[in-house]
Every structure is written in C-alpha cells, then in structure tokens.
Structure 1
Amino acid sequence: MLGVVAAALGGPEVLQVTELPEPEAGPGQVVVRVRAVCVHPADVASTTGEIPRGPVPTPFLPGWDIAGEVVSVGPDTAEFAVGDRVAGMIPWYLTRGAPGGYAELVAADAEWLVPLPAELDFAAAATVPLNAQTAHQGLALVSLAMLPAGSSILVTGASGGVGGFATQLAVQSGFRVLAQATHDDEEWVRGLGAHEVVSRTTDLSTVGPVAAVFDAVPVGEAAAAAVEDRGIVVVTRPTPGFVPSRGVRQELQLIRLDRELLADLVKQAAAGRLSTRVAATLPLTEAADAHRRVLAGGLRGKLVLTAD
C-alpha cells in the first residue's frame, strides 16, 4: 500500500510517498481503507517538530482524522463488520505517527472509530473529529464558569475548522455569539448562526466586553482585551506573552478522544445540524502540496487527501 511519511523534520519537502506493508488487524482493531484524511495545521507542525512533548523521531506518518470503510476485523472485535463506513480520530498525541492517517490502509483501534451515516460523504466526515471535538471540549471549559444564560462569547477564527464548530456549538448552548471572520468570509460565518460578525482587522478591545472568549486562532493578549473582569479565555495552543490581569484567566484546551462525543458530532454533521466545508480534495500522493497550501493560508475550509 502507499503511505506518506515524514522522512525527516522540515517543510513539506520532507513528505515522501512510500510503499508500506499492509497492516493487519490485531485484537480490538479493524483495518480501514482510508477514503479521506483531513490535513490539519497539526500535521504541518508535526513535520517541523513544533508540537507538545517535542519532535517525533522520523520516519512517521502524519494524519489524525480519517474516513473510510472497514476491510478486515481483528480478533475480539464485534463492533464493526467488513464493509462498514466509519469515521474516526487517530489519537496522534498517543500514537506519534505509528499509525498515522496518511496511508491507504490503517489498522485502527475500534474505540477510535464511529459509524459513518450514508448522508455524510467521506471528505466532509474527515473534517469533523479533531476540530469539532476540540470546539466542544473548549466550550465545556467555558460552561464550567457557570455563566448566566444568554452570556456573550467571542469566537476568534470563526472562519476556520475549530472556530466554525465552536461558533455553532456555542449558539446551540444558548450563548450570544460574536464571531470574528476572515475578510470576505463574513457571510459563511453569519450562516453558522453567529449573532454578530466582526472582521479580522477589528480591534478586539472595542468588542464587548464579553464573558468569555474561545480563542481558536489564537491571538492571545488581544483576545483577553475583549473579556470582562474575571472572565475566561480558552485557547487551543499555548500563547506566550499572556499576562493575567483584571482576574481574567486563560485555559488551554488540548484534544482528547471522546468516542461518545465523536459519534454525536458525526451524527449532527450528517443530519445537517453542524456545517463543515472542504476547500479542496487532493490525491494522497500530493500531501506535500497540501502542506504548502496550508502554510500559504487563505483557505476557505479544510484540505482533504483522498485515496480512491
């Protein structure tokens, strides 16, 4: 089978299309024929070594989110059968690229996967697991603050994957949502249900004050300027330079796999209750080009690699 490995640490040029042994399903596992794998900034960061816990020894396979079909089932695995459509998240923070999703076939623990309804295509399904779970779990940190019903929350990066899901889920939770959109993307963000949309160039100190910020970019100190005294800022990666003041606290949200949550989020996407978007699909063999496009920025939606 073909896979794309990071042969060394560096830019997109380190990604190499390689012939790999076909995996076998062990106890509690299935082998998934990967039809789609999402390209995340986290994948790009893995190849440069700029990730929590430090660089991963090369070679390794990038790739968190996959969607495809079960082609074989291991011993003691009763949850899935050959032919089942599945979506899932490889907990890359644990596997460290062994396995990763940039491959035609992946031996995946059954607990990483959920059924994929026919209403959701493979490419769209591959955009859900990491981003939507991160958004939901980050909003749970906001909810722990016991904010009054109807409290205002600002979401930065609402045009992006995590921010887009956070906007929708915050609206579902009853927050009044101010969402910051990329230039010329205001219509998309407004369609996610945001009560107010502000531009990327807006001085956030003039917004609000809001009870909380989901800083999906993150922008760091600028986001804290929008929060009322003793408010909360949730960030998706560490933001050096944040200096607590006015009782404002910063909470770091790092992804953790929650299978029950993932199943619900995939069902919501399939039913049209959660919107996602794919900027483009590229063949798996063009992973290096996909990384270049992520680094260049300006995407409207996620890039997805396909292996048909």
Structure 2
Amino acid sequence: MRAVAVTALGGPGVLRVVERPDPVAGPGEVLVRIRAAAVHPADLAARTGQIPGGPVEPPFLPGWDFAGEVLAVGDGVPGHRPGSRVAGMVPWYLTRGAVGAYAEFVVARPDWLVGVPDELDAAEAATVPLNALTARQALAMMSLAPGSTVLVTGASGGVGGFAAQLAARAGHRVIAVASSDDEEWVRGLGVAEVLPRSTDLADLEPVPAVLDAVPVGAPAAAPLADGGILVTTRPVPPLDPPRRIRQQTVLIRLDQPMLAELMTEVAKGRLRTRVAASLPLAEAAHAHRLVAAGRLRGKIVLVP
C-alpha cells in the first residue's frame, strides 16, 4: 500500500510517500480502506517531535482520524462486515506512529471504529473523531453549573467549533472568539456572542470557564473569575503570577460510544462540521503547510 511517512523530524518536506506491505486483518482486527484522513495540528506536532511523551523516532506514520469502508474482518470480530462504512480514530497516543491514518489502508481494533450514516460523506466523517471527542471531554472536565457562561477561543476551528455547539446545546451561554471574516459561520453555531480575534479578553466581564482551543495561553485566562477553570488543548505554562483558578489540559481518550453519538449528531445536522479542502495523499506536505499557515475554513482532508 501507499502511505505517507515522517522520514525525519523537521519541516513538511520530511513527509514522503512510501510503499509498505498491504496489511491483513488478524484475529480481533478490522481492515479498512481509507477514503479520507483528516490533517490535525497534532500531526504537525508529531512531525516536529513536540508531543507529550517526547518525539517518536522516524520513520513513522502520522494521522489520527479516518473514514472509509471495511474490507475484511478477522476472527472474533462481531458487528462489522465487508462493505460497511466506518470512521475511526487511531489512538496515536498509544500507537505513536506504528499505525497511522496517512495511508490507503489501516488495520484497526473494533473499538476504534463507529458506523458512518449514509447522510455523511467520508471527508466530513473524518473531521469528527479527534475534534469532537476532545471538545466533549474538555467540557466534561469543567463540571459546569447549569446556564454557565463559557468563553471559547478558536471557535472557527475544529475543537473550538464543536465545543461552542455542544456547550450551547447544553444550555450554557457561549462567548466565542472567531477568526477574521469567519464570524458569520461561528454565529451559526448557536453561540450568544461572537468576538473577533483582535479582542482584548481582559476587557470582558468575568466568566467562570474558558476553553482555550487555540491555545493562546495566559491572555485567555484574563477574564476568568476567581475559582474558575481554564482548559487548554495543549500544555501551556502555569499562570504568572499564580491565580486562584483551576488550570487543566484535555488529553484525548478514545471513547467509542461517545464517538458514535457524536457521529450521529453530525450526520443528522445537529452538529456542524466543514471541510476546507480535500487533497491527494501525496500532497500531505502541502496540507501541513496550509494547516501551519492557519485561517482555514474547516479541516484539510487527505484522500488516498
């Protein structure tokens, strides 16, 4: 099969198309033909070695999220059959590149996978797992009282966009920070207020909770009330000077029932996602450059 590997730690040019043996589903495994794989900032961090637990020694395969169809099922795997449409998340924090989604095929464990409803195409489905799970789990960490106000930075992005929608649907008042010229899309997520990225957050009224999905770091904590909580999507330095708030980082965990629920919500149009562009697998380096440049209207998806 063709795959894209990180051949050395460094810039986008280290991403190279490689040939690997076609994988085979063993007992307890599912072979999936990948139709779309999302490109995430986490992939860029893996490529440069800036990930929790330290860098992975190249060569390795990047890629968390994928969608496609089942090709073969190993012994002892109920609930999947060849031809069924699935999406899933490679738990990259465990596989660390031994398995990755930047490939034509992936051998997955059944608990990595959920079904994809007919209403959802592969590219859209591939944008859901990492971002939506992270958003849902970040909000759960906050233990918000009913009707709380939540500030979400990066609401134009994947995690921030899902978090804004989920918080609003839970009955919270959401203040969302949007990228320039993207306020209209963010306003359509059901939020109470949309702020441009140039806003000085220190000027806001105090809020009990902030999800810093960019993350921007200390400036995101400026409007936090004493006793509030700041959740970030990557580790950031402790606040200096220290304040009487909780500061936590959300570290994604695979949760198949939660992912299945979120995928259904997206398919039914109750949660929105968007794809900025679909690129051939061989253009993974270009995809990384686009993600690094920012200001995308949705996710970049690789199509083997």
TM-score, with structure 2 as normaliser: 0.98
1:273-284 to 2 correspondence within 5 Å? 273-284=270-281
- Count of aligned positions: 304
* 235-244 or 192-201, larger mean C-alpha shift: 235-244
Q: Post-superposition shift, 1:245?
A: 4.0
| C-alpha separation in 2, matches of 1:205 and 1:278 | 33
Task: State whether structure 2 residue 37 is matched by structure 1 residue 37.
Answer: yes
| C-alpha separation in 2, matches of 1:66 and 1:14 | 22
The answer for the alignment partner of 1:131 in structure 2 is 131
The answer for the alignment partner of 1:265 in structure 2 is 262
SS in 1 for 2:86: strand
> What does the per-residue CA deviation read over 1:202-248, in whole Å, with 9 as the maximum and x for residues that have no partner?
00011121110011011111111111111111111111252364411
Task: State whether structure 2 residue 294 is matched by structure 1 residue 297.
Answer: yes
| C-alpha separation in 1, matches of 2:241 and 2:83 | 52
1:143-292 to 2 correspondence within 5 Å? 143=143, 146-147=144-145, 149-243=146-240, 245-292=242-289
SS in 2 for 1:279: strand
CA distance 1:163–1:244, change in 2 (3 Å): farther
| C-alpha separation in 2, matches of 1:53 and 1:208 | 37
> What does the per-residue CA deviation read over 1:95-147, in whole Å, with 9 as the maximum and x for residues that have no partner?
0111100000111111100011110000000000000000000000112xx52
Q: Which amino acid aligns with 2:55?
A: P
> What does the per-residue CA deviation read over 1:278-300, in whole Å, with 9 as the maximum and x for residues that have no partner?
00000111111101111111211
| C-alpha separation in 2, matches of 1:245 and 1:14 | 40
Unaligned runs of 5+ in 1: none
The answer for the alignment partner of 1:28 in structure 2 is 28
> What does the per-residue CA deviation read over 1:249-305, in whole Å, with 9 as the maximum and x for residues that have no partner?
211101000000000000000000100010000011111110111111121110000
| C-alpha separation in 2, matches of 1:297 and 1:199 | 15
1:96-111 to 2 correspondence within 5 Å? 96-111=96-111
| C-alpha separation in 1, matches of 2:208 and 2:192 | 15
Cα RMSD of the aligned pairs, angstroms, is 1.0
Unaligned runs of 5+ in 2: none
Identity of aligned residues (%): 62
